[in-house]
Chains A and B, each alone.
Chain A
Amino acid sequence: MNDWQRKSPLDWETYVNKMVKVAAIEKHEYEGWVLTIDPVSASIVLATFLENEKVSISVVLGHAVQEVEILKEGDDEMKQRLSCIFAPEESKAYSPEELEKRKNDLKTWLETNHIPVTEQGELGRTLCVAGVLTIDPPYSPEECSSSNEIILSRVQGLIQGYLEKQQ
């Protein structure tokens, strides 16, 4: 384990949303905006914006990291842009207002059917059903996550039926 892998999550967090230069073993160098650092492997996920609107993602494995130098801080616009990079394609098809409405409509419908639901996460974008299942934008069956397969499939079925009735 190297020094980079031994850092605490709070340390790693200080690099997120910053433009960095990573010096890796065998004289490799990588530059980009830090999206995240995997706490399990200490791997650094970097994003580079290309001219043709595409984004190049590079992941430097934790065991290969020698030094990380912060080049600059991301402004709010960059932070927003970075937080959406891994968002599912479908959520990019909706405006923030549309996503908010979809979330509220679904939340209301779940409450009407006596299913406990709360909002959580930064910006309250994620719905949490019965404390065991989360739904991310754009609130379709594919965006459900749970460690309980039975609840997952039941809720996916409910949402599928709800969306079909909406059409």
Chain B
Amino acid sequence: AAMPVPVPAGVLRLPRGPEGSSRGFSPTSPRFQALQGGDVAAQGVRAALRQRYLRGLAAARGRPTRFCLREGVWVDAVFGAADVDAVAFQVDALRTPLGVQAAALLRCADVLAYSFLL
């Protein structure tokens, strides 16, 4: 008897990490250099700055946010999440001229700035 053909599993394609298919640190990135040790004082400051930033991201979650893109284009959406390597933002209810996208990814390279109210 023939084996049933396996149903292919859905694949969720996420933004690429800095090294293409891997999710590791790029060896030349400042982040990896910091991981290697070196200036202890700088690392402490790095950690404090990053922690405040992460709390800022947490505060942004669920809030209506305006994203300023290139060429004078801006879009409104609800802030969802940011990834660890600053490659993309995930947003909900993205308002575009073609309608509202329930969920979308905005590439960090395309975003100049974003703002929300607390």
Give A residues with C-beta under 8 Å from B.
6, 8-10, 12-13, 16, 24-26, 28, 30, 35-41, 43, 45, 50, 54-64, 85-87
Contacts and interface: CB of A to CB of B under 8 A. Distances in A.
Q: Is the interface of B mostly helix, strand, loop or mixed?
A: helix
Interface of B: 30-31, 34, 39, 41-43, 45-46, 49-50, 52-53, 55-56, 58-60, 68, 70-72, 84-86, 108-109, 111-118
Contacts of A58: 113-115
Contacts of B49: 9, 12-13, 16, 36-39
A86 B108 contact: no
Contact of A61 (B42, B58, B108, B118): B108
Contacts of A10: 41-42, 45
Given A26-B72, A36-B53, A41-B86, A86 B58 contact: yes
Given A24-B112, A28-B112, A58-B114, A38 B31 contact: no
Nearest to A122: B48
Contacts of B111: 61
Given A8-B42, A25-B112, A55-B118, 6 more contacts: A26-B112, A37-B53, A45-B52, A63-B108, A85-B118, A86-B59
Given A35-B52, A41-B86, A86-B58, A57 B112 contact: no
Chain A residues touching B, majority SS: mixed
Contacts of B59: 57, 85-86
A126 to B, nearest CB: 10
B78 to A, nearest CB: 15
A43 B86 contact: yes
A55 B118 CA distance: 5
B31 A40 contact: yes
Nearest to A44: B113
Given A26-B112, A57-B116, A35 B56 contact: yes
